[in-house]
Structure 1
């Protein structure tokens, strides 16, 4: 089981602290964190109650963790910076609204980061929940699923074909060259986010190196993983286990102090359900490097002590071809 840390919210709340994100990445690299992931919101509208609407991808009774003026780094730009100050930790998005980017530009930026990082990039992608982000980009919110598929189709062609050709209702090209290619075989691994439904399963079967779960509790994880594996096979994916990512919020004790022991108590249950990767949110390290190193080191130690000890292999694609 692998541990990812999401970019801490306290690093982006005040401009005077923003450069500490580079120190945070170095500390994670040295502490043995497996992956750093960056969230994605390009813009915000003011109808944030949409986050609580499951019909459009939100979570019932959930709430967007910031207001419309919350600070979010553009994740690809951020990961490009982080790859220059790290050596071992993987770098990812969780999740990237990939359809908001022009596909060929996203393919190029992802390949660039993968090469500069020595093959350490993972792209976690999803459709998102906010209409305003699509409308501001001049895109159809209702068609966001197909827009994401189209984006991934183009990326895969440009990553894997020396002389790429593509034809769809959205775009056609022939004899196109895009270099450099990603260092990783088959291109940058794509982790598909969403609930256990046929659309996400189809995306995993076609493009995915794994599944980023959404709105699933530990008690329901086993049934959801089983359901998703069945749906992936129906969609044409390989009939074998694949990486499953779940997010956990860092708990606090009665005194308001971080409580990693309570946070990670569910790891055996998650592992039994087939979860391979845990992403930790609401991590707020001290903004002093030495103190942050102790804080993150303690998180990693607690995680390793409670997580299954079997070595986890690198995520493998589940697509059938």
Structure 2
């Protein structure tokens, strides 16, 4: 089982020095990957509920550093860990520019980038970015088309409803071939079909194990129906736990519980998913505690 860690970037951890310290120390501890997420703002009167039981957006999101800039810094500060986005709200920028940025990141890191993309859930961010909320699925499909065009041959061209790229020479390419792995998020049937048809994997979340198992099996079966190898798909699973001193109700694990309970969950999903990565930013108070939790977890799992 591969084990990853979220790179500090928001709330009290929105400090580049914290991100770089964790990047270096996590690699030294033996973590396999580092991940960043993506928030643009925290509306004072949000139009959409947060995806949590109480629907309240964490106040820590009011202070959020840019994910791709942090990955560039981490790429230059590490040598082994893979570097991923989970998830990048890729629809907020033209895909031609995103292709260039990810190409540069992949070169900086020596071919260690995993591009995890989501369509987001907060329409206020779309409004601020000047991007329509409606039609996100079609926008994502064309974004993927443009990325593939830029990462294919040197001669690049694309014509679609949203973007036109005139026939051009673009020789800067990622280190990874044919492209950096593209992992997609989503919890609706259309998202699962898109993953099965054209992505390199699903950014899984801490669902109840029967539901998680059923979802992964469904994606694999759909991939087979599209003539793809389901065994080639990746399923990294993100957990944002609240760590407690006392054992929690097992029904609430992995979202709430001790580090020992979290480690037990990681072992249970071994083989179902290929990687688990953990974000302690909503449960730790400072970088020292963040690293202590990370050290305790990796020791318990290994």
The correspondence of residues 120-269 of structure 1 with structure 2, limited to 5 A, is: 120-195=112-187, 197-206=189-198, 208-214=199-205, 216-235=207-226, 237-240=228-231, 242-250=233-241, 251-254=243-246, 259-269=258-268
Deviation readout 1:274-308 (Å, 9 max, x if unpaired): 211112122538535xx86655333222222xxxx
The answer to whether the 8 A contact 1:212-1:246 is kept is yes
Q: Deviations over 1:93-116 (max 9, x none)?
A: 110000101111111110001001
Q: CA deviation at 1:236?
A: 5.3
Query: Which residue of 2 is the match for residue 65 of structure 1?
Result: 58
TM-score using structure 1 length: 0.81
1:282 alignment counterpart: 280
Tell me if the contact between 1:39 and 1:93 (Cα under 8 Å) persists in the aligned partners. Answer: yes
What is the aligned partner in structure 2 of residue 310 from structure 1? none
Q: Which of 280, 296, 299 does residue 298 from structure 1 map onto?
A: 296
Q: Deviations over 1:66-95 (max 9, x none)?
A: 36x621111111101111111101111110
- CA shift in 2, pair 1:85/1:264, >3 Å: same
> Residues 137 and 252 from structure 1, CA distance in 2 versus in 1: closer, same or farther, beyond 3 angstroms?
same
Tell whether the 8 Å contact from 1:247 to 1:280 is kept in structure 2 after alignment: yes
The separation in 2 between residues aligned to 1:126 and 1:260, in whole angstroms, is 28
Closer/same/farther in 2, CA of residues 94 and 70 from structure 1, 3 Å limit: same
**Structure 1, 219-228 or 154-163: larger mean CA deviation:** 219-228
Please give the secondary structure, in 2, of the residue aligned with 1:195: coil
Alpha-carbon separation, structure 2, partners of 1:226 and 1:216 = 14
Q: Secondary structure at the match of 1:50?
A: coil
Change (3 A) 1:95 1:25: same
State the Cα distance separating 1:234 from its structure 2 match: 4.0
Where structure 1 has 5 or more consecutive residues not aligned to the other structure, the ranges are 53-57, 305-321
- Please give the secondary structure, in 1, of the residue aligned with 2:59: coil
Tell whether 2:104 aligns with 1:112. yes
Q: Distance in 1 between matches of 2:203 and 2:188?
A: 10
Q: 1:259 to 1:43 in 2, by over 3 A?
A: same
Count the aligned residue pairs.
292
1:2-61 Cα distance to aligned partner (Å, 9 max, x none) = 11111346x64266x541211110001111111111110123333446234xxxxx4564
* Native 8 Å contact 1:83 1:116 kept in 2: yes
Partner of 2:27: 29
The CA distance in 2 between the partners of 1:171 and 1:271, in whole Å, is 41
Superposed CA RMSD in Å reads 2.7
CA distance in 2, matches of 1:14, 1:212: 23
The equivalent position to 1:20 in structure 2, one of 7, 12, 18, is: 18
Q: What is the SS of the residue equivalent to 1:133?
A: helix
1:186 shift after superposition: 1.1
